[in-house]
Amino acid sequence: MNDKATKQKACREEDCQEQWNAISPDLRQQCDNFVYCPFCSSEMVTRCSVCGETISDADYRFCPWCGADFQG
């Protein structure tokens, strides 16, 4: 698969998605280092930007679910 992807931090709680979507892209990028969600205090997860699945290892070069390339 040739899709390019990014690893994105996300809250596990769907109730927070509206609040996260309201944040500007610049501010959202600064939130990538958060461990806990500032809206509900749930632990943040890393997801693939192509398929949305949770990535368990930040060192992966490719998404284990969809095969998207995280490099470049």
> Tell me, what's the pLDDT at 65?
94
Give the burial class of 48: count Cβ atoms within 10 A of its Cβ; 0-12 exposed, 13-18 middle, 19 or more buried: buried
pLDDT of residue 2: 54
- pLDDT tens per residue, range 14-67: 888 889 889 888 888 788 888 999 999 999 999 998 999 999 887 899 999 999
Residue 72 is predicted with a pLDDT of: 57
Domain residue extents for the chain: 1-72
